[in-house]
Amino acid sequence: MASLTGKTAVILGASGTHNFGAAIAKRFAAEGANVVVAARRKEALDALAAEIGGLAVACDVTQEDTIAALFAAAQEAYGSVDIAVFSAGIYGPGTIAELSAESIRPSLEVSFIGAVLFMKHAADAMGDGGSFITVSSLTARLPGPGLAAYAGARAGTDYVLKVAAWEYEGRNLRFNSIAAGLIQTDMTDMLFDMEGIVDAHLEHTPLKRMGTLEDMAEAALFLADDKRSGFINGQVLDLAGGQQIGRLPRF
């Protein structure tokens, strides 16, 4: 029997053609889960939902009422929520000297405030037992120039997960994060088109290969499945081929 049979997973940030959320949704569906995929643009979700036999729901994480409506729709369709994955994000590079309140806010609104509110409503919907997973970044573990807003928001959410592990103690809820190294997605395509980016990362990665969407999907499955990771809580899982023990490339 597939490992997630009978479970319901809500995955936010799954509207891309090749991104973490979509890859995770497909993997969870293959493992038997009922999958609810969400993003701001519902039309981009419909094809994915049809492919995996899931449900597509529009949700803007900067609007808390739509987050609440997302989990209500999942409960109405499937009766319960067992797994929640936050995979939304905005890449907004800029050195500290260049930052303004206006340039910082999008990263905070999505990657911190949105993530924490998503966590809140996920925990409310899960009841007694469940796995919350957020997609973080290697840049939240290793500092690099130009990443203050983006990485700071991710790192803040990673810390909140540890607080959540204590605040929800006794309910068998687990809160974990996956800190991904550079993997090609809709958001990072432009980096892979830049000369020297991949080679520089490989130089600092002990396994000497780049990560893949499949690597992310398998890591998420591990954290979602109670039989595989039921005693892991408040943890940031590095998915970077060992690069997390070194440093980010300098360009």
173 CB-side CA count, 13 A: 28
DSSP 193: T
DSSP 245: G
Contact present, 3 and 78 (Cβ < 8 Å):
no
Contact present, 31 and 103 (Cβ < 8 Å):
no
Helix, strand, coil abundance in the chain, percent, nearest 5: 45, 20, 35
Contact present, 130 and 82 (Cβ < 8 Å):
yes
Q: Which residue, 111, 193, 124, 189, is CA-closest to 154?
A: 111
Phi, psi angle pair for 208, to nearest 5°: 60, 40
Q: Single out the catalytic residue among 78, 91, 150, 159.
A: 150
- The set of residues, in sequence order, having a beta carbon less than 8 Å from that of 6 and lying 6+ positions away, is 32
Instruction: Please indicate whether residue 78 is annotated as part of the active site.
Output: no
> Which two tokens mark 64?
């808390």
Q: What angle do CA 83, 71, 48 make, to 5 degrees?
A: 70
The residues annotated as belonging to the active site are 150
